[in-house]
Amino acid sequence: MNKFDDQAAKSLLDKNLITENQYQEIAAYRNLNIFSLNAELKLFLYLSVLLFTSGIGILIYKNIDSIGHIAILSILFIIICVCFYYCFKNSKGFQKTETTFENPVLEYLVLAANILTCIFIGYLQFQYKAFGTHYGLATLIPTIVSFSCAYYFDNKSVLTIAITGLAAYVGLSVTPQDLLNNNNFYSEQGLSYSAIMLGVFLILWTIYSSRINLKTHFSIIYLTFALHLISIAAIINLINDYIIWLAFAVVLAGSSYYFYNISHKLKAISLYVFMIIYAYIGFNILLFRVFANIDFSDIWMLFVLLLPAYFVGSIVLFIKLIKNFNKEIAE
């Protein structure tokens, strides 16, 4: 039994939450050094789904002329139907609270079926223009299917696909890398408003879901997307020379305050860390914009000497905040 586990067990014994006999049994069990392969097996299942769906995409791309469109669509449709048949047959049905499959493999079968459905609808629109010029429907329909599967089968991986599809439907790329590399954010301010509005909508949905007790464990996923969308959109507009850049500073400050509180409430270290990073970036941009209008010619050397201390102090403060947060949620 390692030092941390031993201390945790002793703290329970000191608080009279367990007896001496129970403490000895815990120590004996942990000294067996038994470990679980559950996480590793699930990782391999997830990778197998990704490789399988990617392989189908590559197969379609390289053999599209020899196989034929109808044959490809038919094979995809049959695989999707088989996957969903087994999933519906073995599921417990829709429940408002968190549910799981008795066999964890079926959870990844849902993911595979959902990804293949997205491929099927996208291929159908690309090749046959099934929705005509209404290209948004080719995004909206897979999004609706993904949300339905996520809530019916209680699948978080499918939920991330659904939120990504929802963002794509309003013209956004959701990942931070795509947002930062998306030139439309610099040329079309309306996309920034869409990102912030979508982020606010996701927050409001988590509040509503918690009130009706609907899949409350999905909140962390919705809030993670909301945090990235609102914060990155606000930071990008702090950099731009719009007259209303100060309004985006207020949005970022409000977002940071909200996610500071909600991260403590949910004990979510990921939300807390990203909130600090985004708030720090926004704060430094504001400082830069203020200092850009100040003449440092007379105190330039003092400014250069203070700059390393500022960044070192920021790192120390960041580490201290994380340690305090971990200590708080541990208690």
Average of per-residue pLDDT values in the chain: 83
**What pTM was computed for the model?**
0.82
Residue 205 pLDDT class (50, 70, 90 cuts) = very high
Q: Report CA-CA distances (Å) from 174 to 126, 157, 163, 182, 227.
A: 22, 15, 9, 10, 11
Tell me the pLDDT tens digit for each residue of 53-80.
Answer: 888 778 777 766 667 778 888 888 999 9
Tell me the pLDDT tens digit for each residue of 249-306.
Answer: 999 999 999 999 999 999 999 999 999 999 999 999 988 887 777 666 666 676 777 7
Tell me the pLDDT tens digit for each residue of 120-133.
Answer: 998 888 777 877 77
Q: What is the mean pLDDT of residues 302-324?
A: 86
Tell me the pLDDT tens digit for each residue of 156-204.
Answer: 999 999 999 998 888 765 444 454 554 555 455 677 888 899 999 999 9
* Backbone φ and ψ of 129, nearest 5°: 50, 50
The more confident residue out of 242 and 182 is 242
Per-residue model confidence (pLDDT) at position 18: 76
- Report the distance separating Cα 254 and Cα 232, nearest Å: 14
Name the helix (H) or strand (E) containing 125. Answer: helix 105-128
Q: Is residue 27 over pLDDT 80?
A: no
- Report the distance separating Cα 260 and Cα 257, nearest Å: 5
- Report the distance separating Cα 200 and Cα 223, nearest Å: 9
Q: What is the mean pLDDT of residues 141-145?
A: 93
Taking residue 66's Cβ as centre, other Cβ atoms within 10 Å add up to: 7
Per-residue model confidence (pLDDT) at position 44: 78
Structure tokens at 309: 């201390």
Region label for 103, one of left (φ > 0), alpha (ψ between -120 and 50) or beta (otherwise): beta
Q: Which of 26-35, 77-86, 177-186 has the lowest mean pLDDT?
A: 177-186
| Residue 149 contacts residue 114 (beta carbons within 8 Å) | yes
Structure tokens at 224: 């993670």
Q: For 177-239, give the DSSP string.
A: HHHHH-THHHH-HHHHHHHHHHHHHHHHHHHHHHHHTSSGGGHHHHHHHHHHHHHHHHHHHHH
Per-residue model confidence (pLDDT) at position 222: 97
Per-residue model confidence (pLDDT) at position 251: 93
